[in-house]
Amino acid sequence: MKNKHLIIPVLIMTSLSQSSCSTNKSLTFETPKEGFSVVQHIPKNEEGRDKNALYLTPRSIKEEEFNTPELNTFIDSMNAVMLREEGVGIAANQLGKRLQIFIIEAMDDNPRYKVLGTVNNQVFINPIITKVSKERKNFWHGCLSANGEDRGNVATFEWIEYECKNQKGETQRGRLDGFAAVIFQHEYRHLMKGTYLDHAKHLLPKAKLDEKLKSGELPFFELADDSLPLLIEGYQANTNLEDY
């Protein structure tokens, strides 16, 4: 009997140790010691996608995690990286975190994009798309996760309606159109897994693209037909991201 009592605590400690060691940090709000860097796209024919957060299903944020210092600090970090990298949006899995969170924001003086009006900072947690327009528009996308890659022309819905949570856990519903709808769908694509480079068929270096857009040779944010690939191909209205 004496030996039996000695074995139980040892088994408990071993179990706790194994549980701690097996925690997947990509599913937590934990900040890496070296700080956050932006995860980069991996082409479909190359190895590593099965271990890259951009191509793995993100988890939803739990009720008890809302309005906590950990969540709020992580969102502050997302904002800081987006500002540092001069992006107009950022998703959690671009920072290696498989979490259903993204942010959109666009200022008129952003140097990376031809901004179609200011988009105020907004955080989307556990987002779902509830309704979309019949019309689609084209847009030449770049991405913080596609450093040095060509811009890609894909279609997005002219407007979308959504439901999500804010940082306090309150349900938010709304409708976005224009540039805000484009950014929303770009970030939603990340949480659906992947980037615009997985879908675009027409690609151009940014410098050449800018020339062609300025001359009017190429369309920019005009109505698109079904021949242009849809950025969020495979989306389903009123469906949780875990179900994609």
Residues designated catalytic: 187
Which helix (DSSP H) or strand (DSSP E) does residue 173 occupy?
strand 171-177
Total Cβ atoms within 10 A of residue 46: 8
What ranges in 60-145 are assigned the alpha helix state H?
A: 69-84
SS (H, E, C) 8-75: HHHHHHHHHHHHHHCCCHHHCCCCCCCCCCCCCCCCCCCCCHHHCHHHCCCECCCHHHCCCHHHHHHH
Residue 154: closest CA among 191, 202, 113, 86: 202
Name residues whose C-beta falls within 8 Å of residue 95's C-beta, 6 or more positions apart in sequence.
36, 37, 38, 39, 77, 78, 81
Quote the CA–CA distance of 112 and 56 in Å, as a whole number.
Answer: 27
Quote the CA–CA distance of 56 and 98 in Å, as a whole number.
Answer: 7
Quote the CA–CA distance of 69 and 65 in Å, as a whole number.
Answer: 9
